[in-house]
Amino acid sequence: MKFDSIKSRLVLMTLICVIGMGGLVASQHYFTQQLITLNQQRDVLLRMGQDLLQMRRHEKDFLLRSDEAYFIKFSQQAVSFNTRLDSLVPMFSQYDLPITDVESLSNSIETYREKFQEVVALQRQIGLTLNSGIRSEITNLENRLSETEVNRAPTRELFGDLQLATRNFQITQEAVYAREIEELSTRLVSMFDDDQNLNATLQRYQSALSALVNNYLRFGLTHNDGLRGEFRQSAHNVENQLKSVDNALQPLIEQQEAQVRIYGLGIAALTSVVLILVLIKSFATFHRAFVNFLTFFYRCRREYQKIDTRKLGFAELKSLAELANEMVESKRNIEARLASVEAELANKKAS
């Protein structure tokens, strides 16, 4: 198609605008969809962070209240966390992100869950209530011993001190009471070596106290010791891995946002430049044709002259110029015939 007419130029400019706007809309739609997908994954990460906070909350509630309902809630929240984590794998594969970050996070949450299960199992052994586990056994043995000679002088005070040290140890979990329990229980057992039945009961009591102390030592007397310290560290590892995954996703979102700006500005700039060039060329062509027409009509007042259609550019102006040339030629022929008729009349008058 030749763009040598005003109509075709207008069609060309319209096409440029439509193509430019279409490209801009298509690019904006594509990258917006990419951004929506990435932000949805970012939202998944935020919800995973909320899941982790809920798990930490249920963990602390369990340790404070010794209620297995919080362990059930913890397990449900862990399942929700893993489900969201699995949804991140396709996105990491699609954008060639380090899949090891997701794998490390999966391993960390599994370690955290397993450590907490060990804590719960250990708490069950100790006794979630006074009527379960080792605590129940100690209570029953203390009730039996209180009805024997152990609860009479001269061992009554020693037996009372041992019970008090046991209570204090369970409340404060301080090592000094653990040593006191071991020392007092050993003394108490040695004082009844002659009574075989009572000595056997005291040894069971001493074994229960020793199991209680050992389980608490295994659990950890402080937040950073034993099994408690291990699962707290595993929780911190999950938090760090979650931040690592988020940090891997953030540059990708920023890159997509930058591409949206670059492509949008690029398409708009290219469309504007092409459109401006077409307008400039069209204006120059129209101006040149207009000047030629003015020159043509100016010269036609003094002499017959045809306009050069090759210098006009637009097809509409060329057609107009051809009509003008035909008009000039027709006028010249009329004037020539008129002159011929006038000459004949003059000759007749002269003869």
pLDDT in tens, 135-168: 999 999 999 988 888 888 788 899 999 999 999 9
Q: Does residue 318 register a pLDDT over 70?
A: no
Is there a domain that residue 294 lies in?
no
The answer on 236 and 327 residing in a single domain is no
Q: Is residue 275 part of a domain?
A: no
Mean pLDDT, range 301-324, rounded to an integer: 61
- Across the chain, the runs of DSSP E, i.e. the strands, are none
Q: Are residues 72 and 165 in the same domain?
A: no
Listed residues 157, 190, 219: the one ending a domain = 219
> Both 204 and 332 in a single domain?
no
Given a contact cutoff of 8 angstroms between Cβ atoms, the answer to whether 47 and 84 are in contact is yes
Same domain, 33 and 106: yes
The mean pLDDT value of the chain amounts to 81
Domain holding 321, by residue range, is 304-350
| Domain assignment present for 293 | no
What span, in angstroms and rounded, lies between the C-alpha atoms of 275 and 283? Answer: 12
Asked if residue 55 belongs to a domain, the reply is yes
Number of domains composing the chain: 3
Whether residue 276 lies inside any domain: the answer is: no
Burial bucket for residue 41 (CB in 10 Å: 0-12, 13-18, 19+): buried
**What distance in Å separates the CA atoms of residue 343 and residue 340, rounded to the nearest whole number?**
5
Whether residue 184 is found in the same domain as residue 265:
no
What CA–CA distance (Å, rounded) separates 182 from 157? Answer: 16
The alpha carbon torsion through 147, 148, 149, 154 (nearest 10 deg) reads -40
Which of 204, 219, 234 is a domain's end point? Answer: 219
In a domain, 274, yes or no: no
pLDDT at 140: 92
Same domain, yes or no, for 18 and 76?
yes
228 burial via Cβ count (<10 Å: 0-12, 13-18, 19+)? buried
Are both 56 and 123 inside the same structural domain?
A: yes
pLDDT at 72 (0 to 100)? 93
68 and 214 share a domain?
no
What's the pLDDT score for residue 178? 92
End residue of a domain, out of 219, 243, 261: 219
Does one domain contain both 118 and 246?
yes
Do both 99 and 138 map to the same domain? no
- List, for residues 173-208, the tens digit of each pLDDT value: 899 999 999 999 999 888 888 888 888 999 999 999
Residues 95 and 207 in one domain: no
* pLDDT tier for residue 120 given thresholds of 50, 70 and 90: very high
Asked, for residue 209, whether it belongs to a domain, the answer is: yes
> How far apart, in whole angstroms, are the C-alpha atoms of residue 206 and residue 221?
20
Residues 196 and 313 in one domain: no
pLDDT tens for 246-261 read: 887 777 777 777 777 7
> Does residue 292 lie within any of the structural domains?
no
Max mean pLDDT range (109-118, 295-304, 331-340): 109-118
- In the prediction, which pLDDT does 124 show? 92
> Residue 69: pLDDT band by 50, 70, 90 thresholds?
very high
pTM of the model: 0.68
